[in-house]
Amino acid sequence: MITDWTLWLEWFVKALVWIFALLGGFAYLTYYERRALARIQTRVGPNRAGPFGLLQPIADAVKLIFKEELSPAKAYKFVFFLAPILTLVPSIIIAAVIPLGRSINVFGREINLYLANINVGVLYFMSIAAIAVYGIVLAGWASNSKYAMLGGLRSTAQMISYELSLGLSLIPVILLGNSMSMVDIVEKQSDIWFVFIQPVGAFIFWIATLAEVNRAPFDMPEAEQELTAGYHSEYSGMKFALFFMAEYQKMIVICAVMAVFFFGGYLGPGVDQYPLLGPVYMFIKIFLLLFAMIWVRATWPRFRYDRLMSFGWKVLLPLSLAIVFITATGILLADQTGNAMWMWSIPVASVIAGLIPVVTIYQALRRLSYERA
Amino acid sequence: MTLDLALFLLLALIAIASALGMLLSKNAVYSALYLVLNFVTVAVFYLLLGAPFIAMAQITVYAGAIMVLFLFVIMLLGTDELPKSQVLPWQRPLAIVLSVLLAAEATFLLVTKARPAGNVLQPDESVNTMENLRQLGMLLFTDYLLPFEVVSILLLVAMVGAIILTKKEKGAR
């Protein structure tokens, strides 16, 4: 057993730091998203509260706290209450395995800049992602309303379908990193980021995570025109705020995970001498990836639901199986021949494999548009 | 070891309670939720035994994928409240006889064959490293290749069967 109380203190402080970082990150991510969306759409965005509108998230929070909480008369009360919590908790606990840096020396004590370096980190991420569906499903069911129910069902089907591609797109990372621990995976990328070796895998991971966190263009569960607000139609006040918070915190942790798996995590120039640069590099990478998410939301229209499903099952799943095969073959060839150049067969073959569905879909869409004209 | 014992007893309590809740609850959704709790408890048992890989696989596969599908089907069919099932006349007596037999057999074996279990062997450190995962993979693809492939073919057959059952035939209504 661990009897060293300072270790407990260290864990406690690190967990607290993560939670506050995610809470603050959530608040300012909403601001960031609204400003960035406004820029892209040539609007101004929130700019009244405080300098540059920087106090806007605080005003929003105060508003949400003081809103009246309603719960539908025929709702299943306990589950209705449980669902927002079940949605929020997974988005926080994924952060436990994300490494922010190596270790720093504080008052003569080595402190690792991660909460837990467990040897099944990748699997931990997958299992939490699998659990995260429950909150949304139960919210849809417990509200006892048609719109919420349909939203919940849609999101279940969508998350199950895209989870497969998500899991398969992580296998190349495990193969290349030769480990399931997130810290090991980051350290393996000191020569070259995995996104250069397996670009298609990174792309599939990106698409699948967009679907997992129900972001545009995969925000079918809350398509306003069809389902009012989907699974959280019946929620108000702080319960709604929890769903809102969960979505944005998931965006942050997903971007952090993406940075760890494909973009070298906390690695960057000078991180060997100054380990404190690790969190800074992580922050920059998360910030840029978040921008990409907002950018996607601003530019892509929502998918049609049947197309979303067939895209997930008929395009992403076979493609991710193909890249698993390609990666394994490339690593085996490099091992057997002892020639590291074989590693470059992985990106080449993957990109070719990735181009096949792109070209096919493009041609099919062209044919469709000719038929319509 | 007392802490381990306390944890074990607490977990066992939760596992049994959630299993009972699953059986006794009238609402199918609550049943499913109790089952999820049960699966998660089992995963924690694995963690307690020092097998994080199996624990995570348990959560991903059972609590994550399978139970979500269960919930999905329950919600899609709208069978939240279970209807009163028809009881077959011979079912109850038979169930009672069989369960008494099972209990008697278990008691007999427990009394005659039980030995002090001694200390459970603690798995050494190498078990939970990547080396062990690799060993698991090697075993699956060498010694246990046939069962492994048979299981995957079984799953494939189930999948094909489901697709054929639900597929509309052309022209048929």
Domain tally, chain A: 1
Q: Which range in A198-207, B17-26, B57-66, B97-106 is most confidently predicted, on average pLDDT?
A: B97-106
Distance separating alpha carbons of residues A88 and A69, to the nearest angstrom: 18
pLDDT of B157 reads 94
Question: In which residue are the tokens 């060993």 written?
Answer: B135
In this complex, which of B56, B75, B133 lies closest to A127 when CB atoms are compared? B56
Which tens digits make up the pLDDT trace of B64-93? Answer: 888 888 888 887 776 656 566 666 778 888
Distance separating alpha carbons of residues B108 and B115, to the nearest angstrom: 13
Sketch the domain layout of chain B as residue ranges.
1-81, 129-173
Would you place residue A1 in the very low, low, confident or very high pLDDT band (cuts 50, 70, 90)?
very low
The token pair that represents A61 in the structure block:
């929070």
Q: Could you tell me how far CA B101 lies from the centroid of its own chain?
A: 24
As a whole number, the mean pLDDT across chain B is: 79
Which tens digits make up the pLDDT trace of A122-181? Answer: 888 888 888 888 888 888 887 777 788 887 788 888 888 888 888 888 888 888 887 778
* Residue A84 near residue A235, CB atoms below 8 Å: yes
In this complex, which of A120, A152, A157 lies closest to B56 when CB atoms are compared? A120
Angle between helices A146-177 and B67-77 (to 10 degrees): 160
Shortest CA gap A137–chain B (Å): 8
Q: In this structure, is the dihedral angle defined by the CA atoms of residues A283, A284, A288 and A294, taken in order, positive or negative? A: positive
Question: In which residue are the tokens 């417990």 written?
Answer: A142
The verdict on a CB contact (< 8 Å) between B75 and A127 is: no
A248 in helix, strand or coil? helix
Distance linking the first and last C-alpha atoms of chain B = 66
A323 lies in which domain range? 5-372
ipTM for the predicted complex comes to 0.77
A132 in helix, strand or coil? coil
The token pair that represents A69 in the structure block:
């909480």
Mean pLDDT of A66-74: 77
At the second CATH level, the architecture of B1-81 is: Up-down Bundle (1.20)
For chain A, the residues whose C-beta falls within 8 A of a C-beta of chain B are: 1, 76, 79, 118-120, 123-124, 126-127, 129-131, 133-134, 137-138, 140-141, 149, 152-153, 156-157, 159-160, 163, 178-180
Which tens digits make up the pLDDT trace of A116-138? Answer: 777 778 888 888 888 888 888 88
The residues that bridge with A109 in the sheet, in sequence order, are: A106
pLDDT at position B125 over 60: no
Q: Lowest-pLDDT range, A87-101, A293-307, B22-36, B120-134?
A: B120-134
